[in-house]
Amino acid sequence: MKAGKSFTECGNEKPWGFIYKQQANKLKIKKVISTLKRGEPLTKTIKETAQWLLDTHILNDLSYEDTQKQGETRNPARIASNMIDAPFFTGKEFHATVKIFKNDKTPGMDLIEVKVLKMSVREIPE
Protein backbone atom coordinates (compact mmCIF):
# COMPACT_ATOMS: atom_id res chain seq x y z
CA MET A 1 0.00 0.00 0.00
CA LYS A 2 1.39 3.38 -0.95
CA ALA A 3 2.07 5.90 1.81
CA GLY A 4 -0.62 8.53 2.18
CA LYS A 5 -3.44 6.42 0.72
CA SER A 6 -6.30 5.10 2.78
CA PHE A 7 -7.47 1.51 2.71
CA THR A 8 -10.62 2.68 0.93
CA GLU A 9 -8.63 4.35 -1.86
CA CYS A 10 -6.43 1.29 -2.31
CA GLY A 11 -9.47 -0.98 -2.21
CA ASN A 12 -11.21 1.11 -4.87
CA GLU A 13 -8.15 1.09 -7.14
CA LYS A 14 -7.76 -2.70 -7.00
CA PRO A 15 -10.99 -4.24 -5.69
CA TRP A 16 -9.57 -7.78 -5.89
CA GLY A 17 -6.10 -6.81 -4.61
CA PHE A 18 -4.31 -7.14 -1.29
CA ILE A 19 -7.04 -5.69 0.94
CA TYR A 20 -9.72 -7.99 -0.47
CA LYS A 21 -7.44 -11.04 -0.21
CA GLN A 22 -6.40 -10.16 3.34
CA GLN A 23 -9.98 -9.59 4.52
CA ALA A 24 -11.27 -12.70 2.73
CA ASN A 25 -8.48 -14.82 4.24
CA LYS A 26 -7.22 -15.64 0.74
CA LEU A 27 -3.62 -14.51 1.03
CA LYS A 28 -1.25 -17.28 0.05
CA ILE A 29 2.09 -17.27 1.78
CA LYS A 30 4.60 -18.77 -0.59
CA LYS A 31 7.38 -19.35 1.92
CA VAL A 32 7.52 -19.89 5.63
CA ILE A 33 9.79 -17.39 7.31
CA SER A 34 12.68 -19.45 8.53
CA THR A 35 14.46 -16.83 10.59
CA LEU A 36 13.54 -15.44 13.95
CA LYS A 37 15.29 -12.76 15.94
CA ARG A 38 16.28 -14.01 19.37
CA GLY A 39 18.37 -11.22 20.77
CA GLU A 40 21.33 -10.55 18.48
CA PRO A 41 21.61 -13.79 16.48
CA LEU A 42 18.94 -14.94 14.05
CA THR A 43 17.82 -18.50 13.51
CA LYS A 44 18.96 -19.71 10.11
CA THR A 45 16.63 -22.57 9.18
CA ILE A 46 13.02 -23.60 9.69
CA LYS A 47 14.18 -26.44 11.92
CA GLU A 48 16.29 -24.11 14.08
CA THR A 49 13.36 -21.66 14.29
CA ALA A 50 10.95 -24.42 15.31
CA GLN A 51 13.38 -25.71 17.94
CA TRP A 52 13.85 -22.22 19.38
CA LEU A 53 10.06 -21.71 19.54
CA LEU A 54 9.60 -25.09 21.26
CA ASP A 55 12.38 -24.36 23.76
CA THR A 56 10.90 -20.93 24.48
CA HIS A 57 7.23 -21.83 24.77
CA ILE A 58 7.23 -25.41 26.06
CA LEU A 59 8.46 -25.65 29.61
CA ASN A 60 10.74 -28.44 30.74
CA ASP A 61 8.83 -31.18 32.51
CA LEU A 62 10.76 -31.52 35.76
CA SER A 63 9.48 -34.40 37.88
CA TYR A 64 11.19 -33.09 41.03
CA GLU A 65 8.88 -30.04 40.88
CA ASP A 66 5.72 -32.19 40.89
CA THR A 67 3.05 -31.83 43.53
CA GLN A 68 1.89 -35.08 45.12
CA LYS A 69 -1.12 -35.18 42.79
CA GLN A 70 1.10 -34.65 39.72
CA GLY A 71 3.43 -37.42 40.93
CA GLU A 72 0.48 -39.79 41.29
CA THR A 73 -0.47 -39.02 37.69
CA ARG A 74 3.07 -39.28 36.33
CA ASN A 75 4.11 -42.61 37.93
CA PRO A 76 1.58 -44.88 36.15
CA ALA A 77 2.50 -43.22 32.83
CA ARG A 78 6.09 -44.47 33.22
CA ILE A 79 4.97 -48.09 33.00
CA ALA A 80 4.84 -49.21 29.37
CA SER A 81 1.65 -50.97 28.39
CA ASN A 82 2.06 -54.64 27.56
CA MET A 83 -1.53 -55.00 26.42
CA ILE A 84 -2.00 -56.54 22.99
CA ASP A 85 -4.75 -54.07 22.11
CA ALA A 86 -2.55 -51.03 22.85
CA PRO A 87 0.49 -51.27 20.57
CA PHE A 88 2.82 -48.33 19.99
CA PHE A 89 1.75 -46.24 17.02
CA THR A 90 4.04 -45.76 14.05
CA GLY A 91 5.21 -42.47 12.55
CA LYS A 92 3.05 -43.21 9.52
CA GLU A 93 -0.04 -43.62 11.74
CA PHE A 94 0.80 -40.38 13.55
CA HIS A 95 1.13 -38.45 10.27
CA ALA A 96 -2.13 -39.93 8.95
CA THR A 97 -3.95 -38.92 12.14
CA VAL A 98 -2.60 -35.35 12.16
CA LYS A 99 -3.57 -35.02 8.49
CA ILE A 100 -7.28 -35.55 9.27
CA PHE A 101 -7.43 -32.98 12.11
CA LYS A 102 -9.82 -30.14 11.28
CA ASN A 103 -8.05 -26.76 11.02
CA ASP A 104 -10.70 -24.56 12.61
CA LYS A 105 -11.00 -26.40 15.91
CA THR A 106 -10.08 -24.77 19.20
CA PRO A 107 -6.63 -25.81 20.44
CA GLY A 108 -6.45 -28.24 23.33
CA MET A 109 -4.76 -27.72 26.69
CA ASP A 110 -1.36 -27.42 24.96
CA LEU A 111 -2.72 -24.36 23.04
CA ILE A 112 -1.11 -25.57 19.81
CA GLU A 113 -3.22 -24.68 16.78
CA VAL A 114 -3.99 -27.55 14.39
CA LYS A 115 -2.50 -25.59 11.47
CA VAL A 116 0.78 -25.25 13.37
CA LEU A 117 0.81 -28.97 14.22
CA LYS A 118 0.19 -29.91 10.59
CA MET A 119 2.94 -27.59 9.36
CA SER A 120 5.32 -28.90 12.04
CA VAL A 121 4.77 -32.51 10.96
CA ARG A 122 5.54 -31.53 7.36
CA GLU A 123 8.63 -29.49 8.22
CA ILE A 124 10.04 -31.71 10.99
CA PRO A 125 8.75 -35.20 10.18
CA GLU A 126 10.80 -37.01 12.82
CA dihedral 68, 73, 77, 82 (to 10 degrees): 120
Instruction: Count how many Cα atoms sit within 13 Å of the Cα of residue 97 in the half-sphere of its side chain.
Output: 6
Q: What is the pTM of this model?
A: 0.33
What's residue 42's pLDDT?
80
Quote the number of domains for the chain: 1
What's residue 55's pLDDT?
82
Residue 113 domain-assigned (yes or no):
no
What is the spatial distance between Cα 74 and Cα 63, in angstroms, rounded to a whole number? 8
Q: List per-block mean pLDDT (blocks of 10 residues) for the chain, which spans 126 residues.
A: 56 68 72 65 80 81 85 80 70 85 80 82 76
What's residue 30's pLDDT?
60
Residue 21 domain-assigned (yes or no):
yes
Residue 18 domain-assigned (yes or no):
yes
What's residue 4's pLDDT?
57
- Structural domain including 19 reads 1-30
